[in-house]
Amino acid sequence: MTKLITGADISFLDEVLQAGGKFYDEGVQADCLSILTDHGMKAVRLRIWNDPAGGFCDLERTLHMARQVKEKGMHLLLCFHYSDLWADPKHQTKPKAWEGLDFTSLKQALYDYTEQVLGALKAQGTTPDMVQIGNEITRGIVWDEGCVSGNLSESDKQWQQLTELVKKGIAAVKKVDPSINIMIHIDQGGDNATSRKFLDQFERYGVQFDTIGLSFYPWWHGTLKALENNMADLISRYGRDIIIVELAYPWTITNLTSPGMIVDKEDQLHEGYPATIEGQAAYMRDLIALMKSAPEGKCIGFYYWEPAWIPCQEEWSVGHHNNWSNLTLFDYDGNKLKAMDAIRDAVSIWKE
C-alpha cells in the first residue's frame, strides 16, 4: 500500500513567524509544526519562487524551511512555480531572468534552475520526497511559450512546447535523485472534462510522471460529489495515485479581518457546511472520508493550503494582502481550531 500523505502547505509560515505570529494548542503556545504533526499532518508542501521581492520562498528561505520540516521527520513536497511570484491558472509569468530567451534556451534555463535547487536541498540532507513541475498548470507554465490557454489552447505547437518544458523539469529532478516522486498538478478538482482534456494531452505527448495533484475549493471547483466522481474516473483512466494537493474551508464569514476576503458570502459555501468552527470540522471529516473511499485506495492524501496564514500584521513585506485568514486551521489569534482535531481523528481511521 502506498504510504498515506496528510499534510499542509505552510509556505507563508516563515513570514508569519518573522512577523511575530504565535500558535496555541488548548491555550498553550507551541511550535506550529509540532501542532500539525500532533494532529495527524505528517507532510509539508513548500512553494519556491525564482527571485521574489522580499526574499520569502526563494532558495535561501526554502533551504531554511526544509531543514525544519526534515528535522520533524516530515514528508516534503516541493512545488516549483517557475515564476518570481504566484503561478496559477490566471498567472504563469516566467521569471524576469528568463525573459527574452529563445525556446531552446528557456528549456535549458528551466532544467538548470530545477537541478540547482534540488542539488542545494540534497547537499544539506533535505531532498524532497516529491516534486511538482509547476503549480496548477491546467493552462500551462512560463507563458507564452508554455501557454495552452485562450487562443493558444487548441494549438498542437503549444502543447508540444508545454510538455517539452515539463519533461525538462522532470529530467532535472531525476538527475538529482531518480527516486523522487513527480507530481503534475491541475486545479479543476471537480471538473472531469477539463481534467481529462489536460491529462489526455500529457498521455499523448508521453510525459512520464507518478502522481496526479488536484486543487479542490468548492467555491471555485464544485461539490464534493463532483470531486468524488472526477477522482473515480481519473483513477480508472490513468491508474495513478491522486493527492488533493490544495484544499481549505472557512471557519467564519463574519468578523472578517479585512475587505476583499476570498470567501465572504453564504453562496460560496458548500451545501450542508456552514462557515462556523463546527462546520469547518464537519467538512474536513467528510472530505477525508470521501478520499478514503476512492477506488483502489488511489487517493493517497491531501495538503491543506496555508492553515497557518494568520493575520499577524497589516502589511506583508512582500506585498501580500492576507485574504485567507478565515480559511485557516487557527483563529485570528493563532488558536488551534476544532477542524484540526477532526483531521487527526479522520486520518487515524483512514490509516486503519
pLDDT per residue as tens digits for the range 11-49: 999 999 998 899 999 999 999 999 999 999 999 999 999
Q: Answer yes or no: are the C-beta atoms of 343 and 39 closer than 8 Å.
A: yes
What is d(CA 5, CA 299) in angstroms, rounded to the nearest whole number? 10
What average pLDDT score do residues 263-285 get? Answer: 98
Which one, of 2, 3, 12, lies nearest residue 304 by Cα?
Answer: 12
Domain that holds residue 112: 5-351
Which of 15, 145, 164, 246 is catalytic? The answer is 246
Q: Residue 79: which CATH number?
A: 3.20.20.80
Residue 8's alpha-carbon distances to 176, 196, 239, 246, 349, in angstroms, are 25, 26, 25, 8, 19
Q: How many domains does the chain have?
A: 1
> Residue 316 above 60 pLDDT?
no
Q: 203 an active-site residue?
A: no
Per-residue pLDDT tens for 94-122?
A: 999 999 999 999 999 999 999 999 999 99
List the catalytic residue out of 15, 136, 164, 306.
136
Q: What nine digits make up the cell of 238?
A: 490513468
**Where does residue 8 fall: left (phi above 0), alpha (psi -120 to 50 degrees), or beta otherwise?**
beta
pLDDT value, residue 315: 42
Mean pLDDT over the full length of the chain: 95
Q: Which position has the grid cell 471555485?
A: 220
Q: What is the pLDDT of residues 113-146, one digit of tens each?
A: 999 999 999 999 999 999 999 999 999 999 999 9
If you average pLDDT over each of 1-15, 145-159, 268-282, which comes out highest?
A: 268-282
Give the burial string for 295-309 (b: 16+ CB within 10 Å, else e): eeebbbbbbbbbbbb
Instruction: Please determine, for residue 319, whether its predicted confidence score (pLDDT) is greater than 50.
Output: no
d(CA 74, CA 76): 6
What would the mean pLDDT of 160-174 be, rounded to a whole number? Answer: 98
Place of cell 461539490: 223
Q: What pTM was computed for the model?
A: 0.96
246 catalytic? Reply is yes
